[in-house]
Amino acid sequence: MSQPKFVPGSLDHAIFTRKSVRAFTNKPVPKELLKAIVESACRAPSGTNTQPWRVYALEGDAKNGLVNEVCKIHDAMAKDPEIAKEYTDSYDYYPQKWISPFIDRRRQNGWSLYGLLGIDKTQRDKMHEQQQRNFKFFDAPVGLVFTLNTVMGRGSLLDYGMFIQTLMLAARGVGLSTCPQAAWLAFSKIVLSHIKAGPDEMLVCAMSLGYEDETALVNTFETPREGVDTVLSWV
């Protein structure tokens, strides 16, 4: 992707260098830095300043415990698809019924990523393994879990998106990378129990956070965008 040249440290630099990173180094993220990033994210706007976000940071044993539990179930699901019925997404992040152009973009995204990694449709084991990278937080040192109080309305998800994007840009501003993850939604009950969430909390999504492994092939993945004329109409 040809990127305009932006001044390092500028907001546009953070916007244009942010991408979903799917392989991280083991370099730790200092707690104070993580706190500062979340503090920046808290500056996001929300309807009537409700600030509906709640973030759980998992590192070390706390992260590994969740990873092990979910990977075990994910493996079991591959052997027995009946098990999948016990795990449903915490909310309808994706539509029940897909239509164009969304399904086309989704397919293009998925197959381009797998194509880059040399995985084709027939290689079920490899696909499973790559999908499972999600549940290892792509080896990032920090896994973030975002929850929302179930009393809140759909608008709070709009507020939440702003919070999460602000967090990702703040992270980029200090040289960190992220991958927001809806993949965890299916395992919502395990995630919520692991973080000891209250009965009124639902899982919004999770996120891998850390320093990009710049040697990893998967991180060369580039995603296109529709041209501005497709998005913007003058009335």
Ligand X SMILES: Cc1cc2nc3c(=O)[nH]c(=O)nc-3n(C[C@H](O)[C@H](O)[C@H](O)COP(=O)(O)O)c2cc1C
Residue ranges binding ligand X (CB under 6 A): 19-20, 22, 109, 134, 179-183, 205, 223
Residue 162 is given by DSSP the state H
| Residue number with CB closer to ligand X (31 or 217) | 217
Q: Could you tell me which residues come within 8 angstroms of residue 31 by beta carbon, excluding any fewer than 6 positions away? A: none
| Residue number with CB closer to ligand X (170 or 199) | 170
Residues 99, 113: Cα–Cα separation, whole Å: 21
| Residue number with CB closer to ligand X (42 or 136) | 136
Locate the DSSP E strands across 107-192. Answer: 142-149, 177-181
Shortest Cβ 7–ligand X spacing (Å): 21
Cβ atoms within 10 Å, residue 223: 12
Residues 132, 119: Cα–Cα separation, whole Å: 14
Shortest Cβ 202–ligand X spacing (Å): 14
The DSSP annotation for 52-78 comes to --EEEEE-HHHHHHHHHHHHHHHHHHH
| Residue number with CB closer to ligand X (31 or 94) | 94
| Residue number with CB closer to ligand X (15 or 76) | 15
Is residue 170 a contact partner of residue 40, using CB atoms and an 8 Å limit? yes
Shortest Cβ 221–ligand X spacing (Å): 7
| Residue number with CB closer to ligand X (2 or 48) | 2
**142-149 sheet: strands from edge to edge:** 54-58, 142-149, 201-210, 177-181
Residues 195, 184: Cα–Cα separation, whole Å: 13
Residues 229, 3: Cα–Cα separation, whole Å: 18
| Number of residue whose CB is nearest ligand X | 183
Shortest Cβ 57–ligand X spacing (Å): 18
| Residue number with CB closer to ligand X (109 or 220) | 109
